[in-house]
Amino acid sequence: MGIALIWCLALILIKWITSKRRGAISYDSSDQTALYIRMLGDVRVRSRAGFETERRGSHPYIDFRIFHSNSEIEVSVSARNVRRLLSFQRYLRSSRFFRGITVPNSSNILDDDYNGQAKCMLEKVGNWNFDIFLFDRLTNGNSLVSLTFHLFNLHGLIEHFQLDTMKLRRFLVMVQEDYHSQNPYHNAVHAADVTQAMHCYLKEPKLSKSLTPWDVLLSLIAAATHDLDHPGVNQPFLIKTNHYLATLYKNTSVLENHHWRSAVGLLRESGLFAHMSLENRQLMESQIGDLILATDISQQNEYLSMFRSHLDRGDLCLENANHRHFILQMALKCADICNPCRTWELSKQWSEKVTEEFFHQGDIEKKYHLGVSPLCDRQTETIANIQIGFMTYLVEPLFGEWARFSNTRLSQTMLGHLGLNKASWKGVQREQSGSGDDVDPTFEEMDSDILPQEPRLS
């Protein structure tokens, strides 16, 4: 009877609070950007592409989960609202109380939350063959929170920056929740995978002896948030559906700007760095933005040319803060598209997931007569063709230059996996078409500003 009364009071409180708070956007006309003030509320937005009005629990944004089952949406939104009203500590304690579990007095979050197998995996978090899919299962879908918290602890960032561990955990929980689990590829597991790859790069000799705690902090936050609130569709889709984000960012790095501004909103909401000076907080937000914006694939040529020029001249000096920051941008770019450089077992899964997301967008475009985007037509494209083109025109040129910069065992391992995986997809391609010489022409026909026209690596 007592528990039922508590739940009734909790539901009344939730309803009262959500009725008082609304999502909003603060718009800065001076730099034509927007800062997301993330608050609970019932915000409705209508797309010009004919989509139904939908509800979003954090800020005004068309949530493409409307294309999934209603039951999934209701459970997800309900769980999000309850969790966001409670701090992580209160949520943890209340959930255990209602299950009749005594809350231990230990303040060690790692010992409290991680089971034995997940902890065992984290001992090898710097290995390139780290299986993020297995780790996500072992942590019950909390791979991003668990891994990133561990890396903050491992790199000594919690102590160095005097971070409140509960604020850090709350920030990471909010980040993980703002990834769309319904996305086959752009979800929290991908963010965790990129963060793990970034950690591997931070350990490389040239970087590890030069990077400051500030550099490491920015790198891990940027990696964890680099695709925050990704809708599962690409920038051209947002542009041709007249999405308000495309208008806001003038059709330029639309998703990347949104990921960055969403990350800034979470940092401010969590108060994780409230103890820092305003100047340092603003510098942090700006530099995280520089890192996330570098992942825009349409800027690939620009960054690759700058990287190659530095390597040709041999003038990279990692004692220079600007040069270190540039290398971190390149590292995050590598981490973001490193899937073809993983073992075949891992790489194949990522290839299937990203293609599924492409095809899902194509299905939506067909349904609403929007014109199917390149690589998104399941009737004419195959995973093998897409992956071979992706490796040839994007991955090989980038990782070839990274190996010039950091010629280590890890770099050679990545290039080795890349070559084997490409050969494997060519084998699949031969089985499907009877010829191994076909490369998806879509990559060659796309705008030269998007895909670098570089010679293939042998």
User: If you write DSSP's letter for every residue of 251-308 in order, what string do you get?
Assistant: TSSHHHHHHHHHHHHHHHHHTTTTTS-HHHHHHHHHHHHHHHHTT-GGGHHHHHHHHH
What per-residue confidence (pLDDT) applies to 116?
87
275 is in an annotated binding site: no
Burial class (CB in 10 A: 0-12, 13-18, 19+), 335: buried
**298 found inside a domain:** yes
What per-residue confidence (pLDDT) applies to 439?
55
Task: Return the percentage of the chain with pLDDT > 90, whole number.
Answer: 69
Residue with token string 């450089």: 341
387 is in an annotated binding site: yes
Q: Which residues contact 226 (CB under 8 A, 6 or more apart)?
A: 191, 194, 259, 291, 292, 295, 332, 336
Check if the beta carbon of residue 172 is closer than 8 Å to that of residue 144. Answer: yes
**61 found inside a domain:** no
Of 180, 186, 243, 310, the active-site residue reads 186
What per-residue confidence (pLDDT) applies to 160?
98
Tell me which H or E stretch contains 24: strand 24-28
CA dist., res. 359 & res. 283, Å (int): 39
* 14, pLDDT greater than 90: no
**29 found inside a domain:** no
Which of 76-80, 85-89, 162-166, 372-376 is predicted least confidently? Answer: 85-89
What per-residue confidence (pLDDT) applies to 47?
36
Check if the beta carbon of residue 351 is closer than 8 Å to that of residue 383. Answer: yes
Question: What's the CATH number where 355 sits?
Answer: 1.10.1300.10
Amino acid at 451: L
377 is in an annotated binding site: no
188 is in an annotated binding site: yes
**Region of residue 140 (left: phi > 0; alpha: psi -120 to 50; beta: else):** left
* 36, pLDDT greater than 80: no
Average pLDDT value for residue range 357-365: 98
Cα torsion through 103, 122, 221, 390, rounded to 10:
-140
Burial class (CB in 10 A: 0-12, 13-18, 19+), 25: middle
Cα torsion through 75, 346, 402, 196, rounded to 10:
50
Q: How far is CA 78 from CA 14, 74, 401, in A?
A: 11, 6, 47
Check if the beta carbon of residue 396 is closer than 8 Å to that of residue 458. Answer: no
Estimate to the nearest angstrom the gap between the alpha carbon of 370 and the chain centroid.
27
pLDDT digits (tens, 9 = 90+) for 120-165: 999 999 999 999 999 999 999 999 999 999 999 999 999 999 999 9
Using pLDDT thresholds of 50, 70 and 90, give the confidence band for residue 85: very low
What per-residue confidence (pLDDT) applies to 10?
64
What per-residue confidence (pLDDT) applies to 456?
34
* 56, pLDDT greater than 60: no
CA dist., res. 263 & res. 336, Å (int): 17
What per-residue confidence (pLDDT) applies to 37?
38
If one compares 83 and 433, the residue with the highest pLDDT of the two is: 433
Check if the beta carbon of residue 245 is closer than 8 Å to that of residue 213. Answer: no
Tokens of 165: 């561990």
* 96, pLDDT greater than 70: no
CA dist., res. 126 & res. 134, Å (int): 15
CA dist., res. 379 & res. 179, Å (int): 29
Q: Which residues contact 349 (CB under 8 A, 6 or more apart)?
A: 133
CA dist., res. 340 & res. 188, Å (int): 19
Average pLDDT value for residue range 38-50: 36
**395 found inside a domain:** yes
Which of 12-16, 91-95, 211-215 is predicted least confidently? Answer: 91-95
31 is in an annotated binding site: no
What per-residue confidence (pLDDT) applies to 438?
56
Using pLDDT thresholds of 50, 70 and 90, give the confidence band for residue 421: very high
CA dist., res. 60 & res. 96, Å (int): 33
φ, ψ (nearest 5 deg) of residue 56: -125, 135
pLDDT digits (tens, 9 = 90+) for 436-453: 455 555 555 444 343 433
**183 found inside a domain:** yes
CA dist., res. 53 & res. 43, Å (int): 10
Burial class (CB in 10 A: 0-12, 13-18, 19+), 45: middle
* 67, pLDDT greater than 50: no
Using pLDDT thresholds of 50, 70 and 90, give the confidence band for residue 16: low
Residue with token string 């280590």: 408
Using pLDDT thresholds of 50, 70 and 90, give the confidence band for residue 433: confident
Active site residue 160: no
* 206, pLDDT greater than 90: yes
**Region of residue 434 (left: phi > 0; alpha: psi -120 to 50; beta: else):** left
Average pLDDT over the chain, rounded to whole? 82
**196 found inside a domain:** yes
CA dist., res. 431 & res. 398, Å (int): 29
What per-residue confidence (pLDDT) applies to 3?
64
Taking each helix axis as running N to C, give the angle between helix 321-336 and helix 278-293, from 0 to 180 degrees, rounded to the nearest 10: 50
Residue spans of alpha helices (H) in 337-395? 344-367, 383-390
DSSP state of 179: S
The residue segments making up the domain with residue 423 are 123-445
pLDDT digits (tens, 9 = 90+) for 238-262: 999 999 999 999 999 999 999 999 9
Cβ neighbours of 94 (radius 10 Å): 15
**27 found inside a domain:** no
Q: How many domains does the chain have?
A: 1
If one compares 371 and 10, the residue with the highest pLDDT of the two is: 371
* 79, pLDDT greater than 80: no
226 is in an annotated binding site: yes
**46 found inside a domain:** no
CA dist., res. 199 & res. 126, Å (int): 7
Cα torsion through 65, 67, 72, 75, rounded to 10:
50
